[in-house]
Every structure is written in C-alpha cells, then in structure tokens.
Amino acid sequence: MEHNTYLPKLAEIIQIKEEVTGARPIKTFRTRILNSHDFSFRCGQCAMLSVFGKGESMISISSSPLVKDYLQFSILKMGRVTSSLHEMSEGDIIGIRGPYGNGFPIEDWKGKNIIFIGGGIGLAPIWSVLHTALGKKQEYGDLTLIYGARTSQDIVFKDELQELKKEMTVHLSIDVEEPEWEEFVGFVPQNVTDKKPSPENAITITCGPPIMIKFVIKALKDLGFEDRQIYTTVENKMKCGIGKCGRCNIGLHYVCKDGPVYSWAELKNLPQEY
C-alpha cells in the first residue's frame, strides 16, 4: 500500500517566540519531527499542522531547508487551529504532514539580484527563501528586503531583522509615524517606489495582504519590472493538501498542488478566486 499522506508525523514544539502581541498576535514555533522521520522540503512549500482535537491548518514553512535542526512556522492567531496553537507550550506535541505545494524556483534564480518585499505576517514565507539565498550568498547577486508592518509593534522577527542588516540591505517601514522610528513611514508599495529597486537581472518576491500585493505589483511595473520577474504566494482554504478535497482551486489550479507560488505572469491570467 502507498504511503498514507493523511497521516501526520508527530512533532514536538521546541521553542515558542512571541513576535507580536495585541489584537493580532503572531508567534513563531520551532518544531522537531519525532521518531527520526525525515521532512525534506523546498522553500515556499507549506505543511499541514494538526492540533489533535481541533483540526488542521495549512501553514507556510518559515525556516530554510538548509536548517536541519527544526521546522519553523510563524503563525497569526486567526481561526480554531491557529488559536489553539497560540495556547500551546514548549514540549507540546502537534502533527505535521506534507510538505505540499510547488515552492519557489530558486535554482533558476542563480546569479540574479533578489528583492524580497513583505508586509505583516507575509514575511513568514519570504523568510524561508530569503535565508536559503543568504545561506548560498555567493550563488546570488544582491539581496534586498523591503518589509513593513502597521506599527513597529507589528513587525515580526524584530531582532533577526537587526542582525540581517549586517548581511544584506534591509528597508523597513511602518504605516503611520511613531516617535523613535527612523526609517520609512508609509505603506510597503510606497517604500518600494521610494527605494527604486532596479529590474535589471532581478527577481522580486512579494508576500503580504492581497491589497498590498496588488499595489506592490503596480509599483514594480512602474519601475520597469516584467510580469515574469514578480513572484508571489497565494492562500486559500485547504483540507487535504493533495488536490482532492476540491476547495482551494483558482480556476483550473489547485493552490495546494499547483501553488502556492506563482509568477505574476501566471497569476494575472487566473480568475480572481483567492
């Protein structure tokens, strides 16, 4: 009999970090798969997390495949499963199955400059591909991150972002002015326009709220980026993760299998069903 893909592997939560508190809290969970099960994945892929008794939720993997010690997920508290995850403690056991989805075609980007553009929790899927490129820095051109959140409190990976500035260009922004804030004030698309990344030999990856993605793409087009240079990720409600339960499709595409990563050249031709 074939491998039963519906059966999650058990994993221990080995570290929980509070990224953002308040009404829209975000926590980062580091997990370790138990019983020496393997979990190889490509950056941009997702995993179906189980809280037994609550159900499952599809979450993007925010650690790099280069990291072998843990699998990391940064999760906004939202529905039943993510709310339960937020109540869990280090040492608790969850289920993980996958990985699912296509992932970023990072092998095709060797030698190119990569501009990562994120908003809010959208930095989670970027984090995996960013650290993969950073881990093989000599294989890629310039790496730039443009990231923003509503307020300075809403910024995820705060400490890591400061560390990251030593290794690559990082442009941060918040939506409205705050005392002590020395970087850009305004929305992420405005920061993109302000920093004017060059489209020459470049790829951009943009993840965040749909409205942000829409205007980032517009800003990038204005700067001369072509559709095929712009990548993003899409999310839809999922149950099976393997293109059978029938709900996550955008037109002909099952996001769980054919996505979640799309170039704008592909996505702009799909119906608005996400």
Partner 1 sequence: MEKILNKKNLPRWIKGLKAFQVYAPSRDGDIWNYALIENPEDITLDYTSTVLSPKTIVFPQREILLKFGTSNDGELEITETLPQQDPSVIFGVRPCDAKAVFLMDKVFGGDFVDPYYWNRRDQIILVGLTCNTPPSPNCFCLSVDGSPHSKDGLDILMTDLGDRYFMESLTEKGDELFNLGKKLFEKPTAKDIKELAKIQADSEKNLKRQIKNIKKIPSLLKDMFESSYWDEASMSCLRCGICTYLCPTCHCFDMNDEVAVTSPIKGQRVRTWDTCQFPDFTMHSSGHNPRPDKASRLRQRVFHKFYYFPERYKNFQCIGCGRCISKCPVGIDIIQVLDGVSDHGA
Residues at the interface with partner 1 (CB under 8 A): 1-2, 4-8, 10, 50, 52-57, 78-80, 82, 93, 95, 235-237, 239-240, 242-252, 271-274
| Least CB distance to partner 1 at residue 226 (A) | 25
State which residue, 228 or 237, has the beta carbon closest to partner 1.
Answer: 237
State which residue, 53 or 111, has the beta carbon closest to partner 1.
Answer: 53
For residue 142, what are its two tokens? 């310039």
| Least CB distance to partner 1 at residue 135 (A) | 30
19 vs 160: CA distance, rounded Å: 11
State which residue, 168 or 242, has the beta carbon closest to partner 1.
Answer: 242
| Least CB distance to partner 1 at residue 150 (A) | 15
Reduce the secondary structure of 104-126 to three states and give it as a string: CCHHHHCCCEEEEEEEHHHHHHH
Q: Is-contact 17 28, C-beta < 8 A?
A: yes
| Least CB distance to partner 1 at residue 96 (A) | 12
| Least CB distance to partner 1 at residue 172 (A) | 25
| Least CB distance to partner 1 at residue 183 (A) | 28
State which residue, 12 or 175, has the beta carbon closest to partner 1.
Answer: 12
State which residue, 67 or 242, has the beta carbon closest to partner 1.
Answer: 242
229 vs 76: CA distance, rounded Å: 28
Backbone dihedral angles phi then psi of residue 223, each to the nearest 5 degrees: -80, -5
Spatial neighbors of 203 by CB under 8 A, at least 6 apart, are 109, 112, 113, 114, 115, 229, 231
Pairing verdict, β 26-33 and 9-20: antiparallel
State which residue, 138 or 272, has the beta carbon closest to partner 1.
Answer: 272
Q: Is the backbone of residue 54 left (phi > 0), alpha (psi -120 to 50) or beta?
A: alpha
| Least CB distance to partner 1 at residue 232 (A) | 16
State which residue, 78 or 176, has the beta carbon closest to partner 1.
Answer: 78
97 vs 238: CA distance, rounded Å: 13
Pairing verdict, β 93-100 and 9-20: antiparallel
